[in-house]
Amino acid sequence: MGTGTSPGLDDEFPDAAASKGHPLYDSLQKEAAMMASLRHPSIVMYLGVCLDPPAVVTEYCARGGGSLNDVLKRARTSPLLAAQLDWARRLNMALDAAKGMLYLHSCSPPIIHRDLKSANLLVDRHWRVRVCDFNLSRVMEDSAVLSSVAATNPRWLAPEILSGKGYTFASDVYSFGICMWEVLTWQVPYHEYGPWQVVAMVTESAKRPEVKGWGRGIVFGTLR
């Protein structure tokens, strides 16, 4: 096991953010405090916080430096890697992600990830998956519906998020369903469309990724 930093933090936090009272410093501290309280095999382990440059330090558990997104991308062009991703292994990877998300939702108070996607699911050398990147996570306390944040990529976001209605547990479930679709198909969701086309199709036309075969019922159950 090695160490790594929370994805994107090095770019998001300038040197000035290391000063107490800076909004980004406060954001970093909140993320670190939240991650320090989490202990689960399917959640990336928090190791500490660095102020210069500002970053949350976590265990490094990526297979060859990759996330689930990276693994599936390489598998599309590597017969050797593809041969290792049989149905049993892929389903176990999806189960790991589901266990991690169930743990977050079962915390007291519950935690909504808000940015779940295959790029935020790290794969270790034993093919186990851990949920990471809590930059957008928020603890659900009083309100059942949370204010939304700027979309980083609409391909994994639920229709209510893209419509500006806010986040709920169901939003994470939808994003998990998109990740399951990736595991089943090895494809990028809506790869043939641009981001704004995806937003329009998902919100106005209720479009969902196409699933054939036995996995259809499982995936579509999460994308309602």
Q: What CATH number corresponds to the domain at position 37?
A: 3.30.200.20
Read off the pLDDT of each residue in 90-112 and give the average, rounded to a whole number: 92
- Of the candidates 115, 124, 133, 142, the residue annotated as catalytic is 115
User: Does residue 148 share a domain with residue 49?
Assistant: no
Domain assignment present for 77? no
DSSP conformational letter for 104: H
User: Does residue 128 share a domain with residue 47?
Assistant: no
Which structural domain range is residue 32 located in?
2-60
Tokens linked to 32: 């670190």
Reply yes or no on whether 115 is catalytic: yes
Look at the pTM and tell me if it is higher than 0.75.
Answer: yes
Contacts of 28 (CB under 8 A, 6+ apart): 9, 13, 17, 49, 54, 55, 56
Domain assignment present for 75? no
How many folded domains does the chain comprise?
2
Is the Cβ–Cβ distance between 137 and 31 less than 8 Å? Answer: yes
Domain assignment present for 124? yes
Give tens-digit pLDDT for 152-211.
578 999 998 888 887 888 999 999 999 999 998 888 999 999 988 999 999 988 888 777
Rounded CA-CA distance 220/23 in Å is: 39
User: Does residue 48 share a domain with residue 93?
Assistant: no
Read off the pLDDT of each residue in 55-84 and give the average, rounded to a whole number: 83
State residue 211's pLDDT score: 72
User: Does residue 47 share a domain with residue 134?
Assistant: no
Domain assignment present for 79? no
Read off the pLDDT of each residue in 94-123 and give the average, rounded to a whole number: 92
**Chosen domain end from 60, 77, 99:** 60
Rounded CA-CA distance 161/51 in Å is: 32
Read off the pLDDT of each residue in 12-31 and give the average, rounded to a whole number: 60
User: Does residue 22 share a domain with residue 126?
Assistant: no
In this structure, the strands spanning 121-123 and 54-60 are unpaired
Give tens-digit pLDDT for 118-138.
999 999 989 999 998 876 676
Where does residue 201 rank: exposed (0-12), middle (13-18), buried (19+ CB within 10 A)? Answer: middle
CATH of the domain at 186: 1.10.510.10
The residue among 24, 100, 64, 67 whose CA lies nearest residue 183 is: 67
Domain assignment present for 78? no
User: Does residue 156 share a domain with residue 96?
Assistant: yes
Is the Cβ–Cβ distance between 138 and 167 less than 8 Å? Answer: yes
Domain assignment present for 21? yes
State residue 83's pLDDT score: 94
Read off the pLDDT of each residue in 1-17 and give the average, rounded to a whole number: 45
Task: Label residue 212 by pLDDT band (50, 70, 90).
Answer: low
Where does residue 121 rank: exposed (0-12), middle (13-18), buried (19+ CB within 10 A)? Answer: buried
Which residue type is seen at 69? Answer: N
User: Does residue 183 share a domain with residue 108?
Assistant: yes
Domain assignment present for 71? no
User: Does residue 169 share a domain with residue 93?
Assistant: yes
User: Does residue 196 share a domain with residue 142?
Assistant: yes
User: Does residue 186 share a domain with residue 149?
Assistant: yes
User: Does residue 133 share a domain with residue 42?
Assistant: no
- Mean pLDDT, rounded, of the chain: 78
State residue 12's pLDDT score: 41
User: Does residue 96 share a domain with residue 55?
Assistant: no
* Site of tokens 């659900």: 140
Read off the pLDDT of each residue in 3-21 and give the average, rounded to a whole number: 47
121 bridge partner residues: 131
State residue 128's pLDDT score: 93
User: Residue 81 pLDDT more than 70?
Assistant: yes
Rounded CA-CA distance 168/145 in Å is: 5
User: Residue 5 pLDDT more than 70?
Assistant: no
Domain assignment present for 68? no
